[in-house]
Amino acid sequence: MARKKQDEAPKAVAAKEVPKAAKKRKPAPDQSEDTLKVEVARIADLTPHPKNYKVRPEDQLLHIGASLKQFGYYKNVVVGRGGVILAGHGVVEAATKIGWSTVPIHRVDVDPMSPEALKILALDNELPKFAETDDRALSEILRVIREQSPTSLLGTGYEDQTVAALVMVTRPSSEIGSLNEAGEWLGMPEYDVGDDRIRMIVLFETDEARQKFSDDLKMNCRKSARVWSVRWPIVEDADTSSIRFETEGAVT
């Protein structure tokens, strides 16, 4: 009998070790499928948070709407219990204005009036304020966007005049001396100072093609940055801002 007990002892130990080794470890919170779950909800089923303190002006909603039309949704709306919006009020409002009826959402199981929910509401509105912006680098990006077309800035939150102002304040006067120079750097037409003369824009694929066009018509163009301008019919020593010639990509 003693020998039998010795034979069974290892089995008892093994029986205890197997379940422990085979026990499945729970995933960390940031690895849970629940934290990544996104669903499509009807906007009509969502409710703005009663304590949302951000009012978005029409021009901001116009830019958000333009971005939605071009790229679709690329940021989920966060909602608490009962479909109350905690983050993404502007996206939902802009989507409604352009006639969309659904939006991707991520649900969090919190009471909308709880401190946890209010924290989401506040951080969605306030955290971006703490980021530092390199305005000069931003102006370079906006310039690339602007070169696509005169309306390509729609959706960025910027317009021609605001980008030109940004360009001017982020560069020394030796580089950009006036708002018109900032506009030319951006690829904009010269600012209208009150005259109602008719303007025409001619685009060229190369500098050589622009030069040939100017030479063939014997135009004494005013040349600044990428923009050439001339008045037609040609008048000696006259203001030459009626017609502008630009290389491809500097559409105005």
Which pLDDT tens digits describe the chain residue by residue (252 residues)? 444 444 444 444 444 444 444 444 445 455 455 566 889 999 999 999 999 999 888 888 999 999 999 899 988 899 999 999 999 999 999 999 999 999 999 999 999 999 999 999 999 889 888 888 888 898 889 888 888 877 888 888 888 888 888 888 788 877 887 777 777 777 776 544 444 556 666 777 777 888 888 888 877 766 544 556 666 665 444 443 333 444 444 433
Which domain-ending residue is among 130, 150, 166? 130
pTM assigned to the model: 0.55
Q: Please list, residue by residue across 57-90, b when 16 or more beta carbons sit within 10 angstroms of its beta carbon and e when fewer do.
A: eeeebbbbbbbbeeeebeebbbbbeebbbbbbbb
Q: Which domain holds residue 140?
A: 132-188
Q: Are residues 156 and 125 in the same domain?
A: no
- Answer yes or no: is 22 within a domain: no
Cβ contact 104:38 at 8 Å = yes
247 — phi, psi (to 5°)?
Answer: -75, 160
- Answer yes or no: is 4 within a domain: no
Look at the chain and report how many structural domains it folds into: 3
Which domain-ending residue is among 130, 164, 179? 130
